[in-house]
């Protein structure tokens, strides 16, 4: 019976540790040229995605990259949601 109680405490402490470490690292923003995932770069940097989950923080998007504001593009021209 004592083993079962200790095992529950161990599992509970591991779950608490995982939750705390996950939530504290999730809010940290990334600096210029750092690896990023969407919406994780510090302002004013943008995450230029190279795949669905990996990218690099940049100052602006190159021509051909998806955009929704002119300010996000290096040439300051976003047309039909693509930097030109």
The residue assigned the tokens 């930097």 is 83
d(CA 52, CA 12): 33
pLDDT (tens digit per residue) in 20-75? 555 555 568 888 999 988 778 898 899 998 888 789 999 999 999 998 899 999 99
| Rounded-to-10 torsion of CA 52, 56, 62, 66 | 30
Alpha carbon 71 to its chain centroid, in Å, reads 20
What is the residue extent of each domain of the chain? 25-83
pTM over 0.85? The answer is no
CB 72 within 8 Å of CB 78: yes
pLDDT per position as a tens digit, 11-27: 777 776 655 555 555 56
CB atoms within 10 A of CB 29: 13
Per-residue model confidence (pLDDT) at position 29: 86
Mean pLDDT rounded to a whole number for the chain: 81
């Amino acid at each position: 019976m004592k083993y079962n109680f200790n095992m529950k405490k161990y599992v509970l402490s591991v779950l608490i540790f995982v939750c705390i470490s996950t939530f504290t690292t999730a809010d940290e923003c990334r600096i210029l040229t750092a690896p990023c995932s969407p919406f994780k770069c510090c302002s004013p940097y943008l995450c230029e995605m190279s795949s669905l989950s990996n990218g690099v923080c940049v100052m602006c998007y190159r021509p051909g990259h998806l955009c929704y504001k002119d300010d996000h593009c290096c040439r300051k021209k976003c047309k039909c949601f693509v930097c030109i």
